[in-house]
Structure 1
């Protein structure tokens, strides 16, 4: 059986992770890699262990699949350039954006390509670690049936799990990912700054909160958000909540506003918790 060839346009952390996994599993033959600079593309080739750096999209030879793993604001223009310079009949063109649907690839579709989007629900902070921990990752998928069949098989063979996303609701789906991952990181940064202002060094704050953070995530995943809620709001101790809020206002009004808005959501959860316990 002939291994399908794959080009990558915009080979950053996600692109490198997927390409290396697929290369090591012998699922796709990694071919051309186009990045902003040839040096960046060469580094991607080195990490993946396959492929070759190509200077421009127009210089890419024909391939069975093309993955556009660039930033969201570049996907449409990169796809248009690909469609202008290549015959894409029966080629599978897909992107890895969580916010955009495959309709952004309309120029490729108009040129005869099958199109899809593939979004791993995963944090790609370190590419080498992402390769090691990718098995078990859920990937949201939407697009042409034939394209999805190829991509789902490749993902499943790397240990990933796939699920369907509504193209019309992708932006809200992606906002959910950002709230749970990126904004959780930002919220913890606020917390660490609070610790520092209270005289506790950041390094120690990170250490002492590890068990609490792990327990909180575990409780959310096993009991649900309402039952996982603890602390002053869950106990109905609004005097402590107001004291927290005032202390934050005296220091940083933006952080106080975030605390107040999150507190309102926590109050709703506390009410749910009480109803469940009744």
Structure 2
């Protein structure tokens, strides 16, 4: 594959910066190097990606035409305040926040630069290993039209799927990502706690739940949400649901009811002739 000519630099050398830099590098993108307030982190990331590390932000920005800010959300605005003091005319400035839009780069047009949010829908849990699965990640892009084709072709060129979204939809988009990722962990924890009350230890609980969880996700991917629904809600099994509600504590009972109301709506689409009135009365509005 021909090397892409844009020169990419990273400000921030945590899990996201490590992973994207390595993934980009392995896909023949031109990763120049890293700047971090922690010099050791920049050195480590540079070694991992066979690139350079910088003692100061100015030299990184000078040598790159596309800057990825891969720091926690709460620091992006502060970093932009520093970046915009440098010579950035014509440069592309990106961040990787799921919830923030490119508008965090306030007045960027005044500097004749172009700001984008580029977010991989992916859980980065390890600096050194997460890049191995980034080929499966879906990327969302938000920002002005001027350099949009460059950004789109950058991500499409390494084989990932993309969706361009608006600044107005960033928060809602991030809510969806968090529910499908972080909140699932909370649900699994609830299930683990219930199994521990049945005599399982945590390791056995996770081992027993994993095939159930992974097969369900596999079914959603292959058959869609509606056709993947099984269980007592789908069957309108009022007796089982009644027993479930009676054995749960107050907090988990409310969670069960809330999720069941969502499931009933899906079940009605799957089984248009099935009567769900009894369990709707049990679950409540």
Same fold (TM over 0.5): yes
Secondary structure, counterpart of 2:115 in structure 1: strand
Secondary structure, counterpart of 1:244 in structure 2: helix
Shift of 1:257: 2.1
Residue in 1 that maps onto 2:28: 26
Question: Does residue 75 of structure 1 match 2:76?
Answer: yes
Q: Mark the runs of 5 or more structure 2 residues left unpaired by the alignment.
A: 276-285
Question: Aligned pair count?
Answer: 272
Superposition pairs for residues 200-239 of structure 1, below 5 Å? 200-239=200-239
Alpha-carbon distance in 2 for matches of 1:7, 1:222: 38
Deviates more, 1:72-81 or 1:212-221: 212-221
Residue in 1 that maps onto 2:280: none
Shift of 1:107: 4.1
Superposition pairs for residues 55-70 of structure 1, below 5 Å? 56-58=56-58, 60-62=60-62, 63-70=64-71
Q: TM-score, normalised by structure 1?
A: 0.88
> Residue 53 and residue 259 in structure 1: after superposition, are their counterparts in 2 closer, same or farther (change >3 A)?
farther
Cα deviation code 1:111-147 (max 9, x no counterpart): 2211111111112122333222222321111213343
Secondary structure, counterpart of 1:275 in structure 2: coil
Alpha-carbon distance in 1 for matches of 2:233, 2:27: 50
Q: Mark the runs of 5 or more structure 1 residues left unpaired by the alignment.
A: none
Shift of 1:176: 0.6
> Residue 6 and residue 276 in structure 1: after superposition, are their counterparts in 2 closer, same or farther (change >3 A)?
farther
Shift of 1:215: 2.2
Residue in 1 that maps onto 2:266: 269
Contact 2:4/2:30, CA 8 A, preserved across alignment: no
Q: Once superposed, what is the RMSD of the aligned Cα atoms?
A: 2.3
Residue in 2 that maps onto 1:195: 195
Contact 1:79/1:107, CA 8 A, preserved across alignment: no
Alpha-carbon distance in 2 for matches of 1:247, 1:93: 53
Shift of 1:195: 0.9
Contact 2:123/2:181, CA 8 A, preserved across alignment: yes
Contact 1:22/1:154, CA 8 A, preserved across alignment: no
> Residue 276 and residue 115 in structure 1: after superposition, are their counterparts in 2 closer, same or farther (change >3 A)?
farther
Residue in 2 that maps onto 1:132: 132
> Residue 177 and residue 132 in structure 1: after superposition, are their counterparts in 2 closer, same or farther (change >3 A)?
same
Residue in 2 that maps onto 1:47: 48
Cα deviation code 1:63-87 (max 9, x no counterpart): 2111111111211121111102x02
Shift of 1:199: 0.7
Alpha-carbon distance in 1 for matches of 2:180, 2:101: 21
Deviates more, 1:34-43 or 1:109-118: 34-43
Contact 1:90/1:114, CA 8 A, preserved across alignment: yes
Alpha-carbon distance in 1 for matches of 2:61, 2:166: 33
Residue in 2 that maps onto 1:254: 251
